[in-house]
């Protein structure tokens, strides 16, 4: 049977795998040998589900957006990941990975963060479990993301500045990898999206798959069938999208739509539209599509939303793009900001700017009146208020 899930070597079609320095092999190998066994253990599942319920606040509602549906003449449901504790889907994954770390006998967590959202989600679960937490962050990002740095410190994490290179996310990732190589026995590295070497993309997708697991029974209750005609999500690394698509990947009756950040325009030179612009290469240990120069140097991505500002995309999404299973649409900063304001004023929900990209789809694509559409509302916009305010001169 054809499948869009990872095979046992972590490949999605030609993408994925584990391209890592030999010194990292013991770390990823320990995880690879154990992750499925641990995740399928009934005790682990029970603890994960309990925390998702009582701590994260799951199940998140599937909300029928009546005014948006009237405006665009189709049936639009919003999966409310913005109502998760900490304000976005990222915590589904960090809860899963901290439990995984405990099962593997680790007592120290490291993570890398760009805008700080994944750092906060990681610091949160480390506080919950009383486990030491070190977050690597580019010196430049530390300066421009002060509120999230303060949150991480408040939660008890150590924020270590990455001082090399461009002093942003990729340098923080290099520092985290170096730390992991030096501390293979007691440390687990929590990666924040469906990126990195096998088994991370598959493991993170499985933790986030709770999103589509819930959509299935919620739609069955509301519409009498467990699937939509289209499921739509914004894609940075691809984790909220992977979670929303997961149980529909091998169901051809469900259209999969991925929305990427075009920044100032796909061909403006300031963009993060990875699949449109990307070529095959290796980033963070995974073979995927990434933005690069002719001679293979990774190019700096740009988007007004920090969470979509990543030069690669997870291997699942690269495969969805190349195989044609997914429909990929790029949305500019301006289109996303306008859509974010529109959703705020039509539904009383201020979305994260990442999510606002997904809402701009309706200016690019028509749907039929009886189509059932689910948009994954990946996060709330509180963190982005100052950007919205500056943009609209509110
Ligand atoms: C981090 C983030 C994203 C992008 O990450 P994915 O791994 O692609 O989901 C999207 N939306 C929000 C609200 C985020 O915080």
Which pLDDT tens digit goes with each residue over 50-76? Answer: 999 999 999 999 999 999 999 999 999
Looking at 75, 81, 103, 112, which residue is catalytic? 112
Q: What is the pLDDT of residue 310?
A: 84
Which residues neighbour 358 within 8 Å (Cβ) at sequence distance 6 or greater?
232, 233, 234, 259, 375, 376, 377, 378
Q: 1 C-alpha to center of ligand 1: Å?
A: 31
Which residues neighbour 104 within 8 Å (Cβ) at sequence distance 6 or greater?
30, 31, 34, 38, 188
214 is catalytic: no
Residue ranges, CATH 3.40.50.1100, the chain: 19-51+90-204, 58-88+209-392
- Mean pLDDT within 211-231: 98
- Mean pLDDT within 148-175: 94
Binding-site residues, ligand 1, Cβ < 6 A: 88, 90, 117, 193, 234-241, 307-308, 352, 354-355, 378-379
Q: How far apart are CA 201 and CA 12, in angstroms?
A: 10
In the three-class reduction of DSSP (H, G, I as helix; E, B as strand; rest coil), residue 353 is classed as: helix
386 is catalytic: no
CATH no., domain 58-88+209-392: 3.40.50.1100
In the three-class reduction of DSSP (H, G, I as helix; E, B as strand; rest coil), residue 230 is classed as: strand
Q: In the structure, what pLDDT confidence band is assigned to residue 351 with cuts at 50, 70 and 90? A: very high
- Mean pLDDT within 369-382: 98
Shortest-distance Cα residue to atom 3 of ligand 1: 307
79 within 8 A of 219, measured Cβ to Cβ? no
Cα distances (angstroms) measured from residue 212 to each of 151, 216, 238: 30, 6, 14
Looking at 79, 90, 106, 140, which residue is catalytic? 90
Beta strands in the chain (DSSP E): 11-12, 15-16, 62-64, 75-80, 108-113, 132-138, 158-162, 187-189, 230-234, 255-263, 279-283, 286-290, 326-332, 372-377
Mean pLDDT of the chain: 96
Q: 56 C-alpha to center of ligand 1: Å?
A: 17
Q: In the structure, what pLDDT confidence band is assigned to residue 1 with cuts at 50, 70 and 90? A: low
Listed residue (248, 302, 234, 262) closest to 82, CA to CA: 234
Question: What residues pair up with 62 in beta bridges, in sequence order?
Answer: 79
Listed residue (106, 122, 115) closest to 158, CA to CA: 122
Q: 258 C-alpha to center of ligand 1: Å?
A: 12
Summarised one tens digit per residue, pLDDT across range 288-325 is: 999 999 898 888 899 999 889 888 899 999 999 999 99
Q: Identify the architecture of domain 19-51+90-204 in CATH.
A: 3-Layer(aba) Sandwich (3.40)
DSSP code, position 363: G
Name the one residue in this structure whose structure tokens are 């009146």.
369
- Mean pLDDT within 223-236: 98
């Amino acid at each position: 049977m054809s499948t869009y899930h990872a095979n046992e070597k972590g490949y999605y079609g030609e993408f994925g795998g584990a391209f890592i320095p030999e010194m990292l092999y013991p770390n990823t190998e320990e995880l690879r040998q154990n992750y499925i066994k641990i995740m399928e253990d009934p005790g682990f599942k029970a603890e994960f589900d309990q925390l998702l319920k009582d701590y994260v606040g799951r199940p998140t509602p599937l909300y029928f957006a009546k005014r948006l549906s009237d405006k665009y003449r189709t049936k639009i449901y919003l999966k409310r990941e913005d109502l998760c504790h900490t304000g976005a889907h990222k915590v589904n994954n960090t809860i899963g990975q901290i439990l995984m770390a405990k099962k593997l006998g680790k007592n120290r967590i490291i993570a890398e963060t760009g805008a700080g959202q994944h750092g906060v989600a990681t610091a949160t679960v480390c506080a919950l479990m009383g486990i030491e937490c070190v977050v690597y962050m580019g010196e430049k990002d530390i300066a421009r993301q002060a509120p999230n740095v303060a949150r991480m410190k408040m939660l008890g994490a150590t924020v270590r500045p990455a001082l090399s290179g461009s002093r942003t996310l990729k340098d923080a990732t290099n520092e985290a990898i170096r730390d992991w190589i030096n501390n293979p026995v007691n440390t687990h590295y929590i990666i924040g999206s469906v990126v990195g070497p096998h088994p991370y993309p598959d493991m993170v997708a499985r933790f986030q798959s709770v999103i589509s697991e819930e959509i299935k029974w919620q739609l069955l209750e509301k519409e009498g069938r467990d699937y939509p005609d289209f499921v739509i999500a914004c894609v940075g690394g691809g984790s909220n999208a992977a979670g929303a698509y997961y149980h529909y990947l091998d169901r051809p009756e469900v259209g999969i739509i991925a929305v990427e950040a075009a920044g100032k325009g796909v061909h403006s030179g300031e963009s993060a539209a990875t699949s449109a612009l990307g070529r095959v290469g290796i980033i963070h240990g995974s073979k995927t599509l990434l933005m690069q120069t002719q001679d293979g140097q990774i190019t700096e991505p740009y988007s007004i939303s920090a969470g979509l500002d990543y030069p690669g995309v997870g291997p699942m999404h690269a495969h969805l793009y190349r195989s044609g299973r997914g429909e990929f649409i790029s949305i500019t900063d301006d289109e996303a900001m306008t859509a974010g304001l529109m959703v705020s004023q039509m539904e009383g929900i201020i979305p994260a700017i990442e999510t606002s990209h997904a809402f701009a789809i309706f200016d690019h694509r028509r749907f039929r009146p009886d189509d059932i559409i689910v948009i994954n509302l990946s996060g709330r916009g509180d963190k982005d208020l100052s950007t919205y305010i500056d943009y609209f001169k509110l």
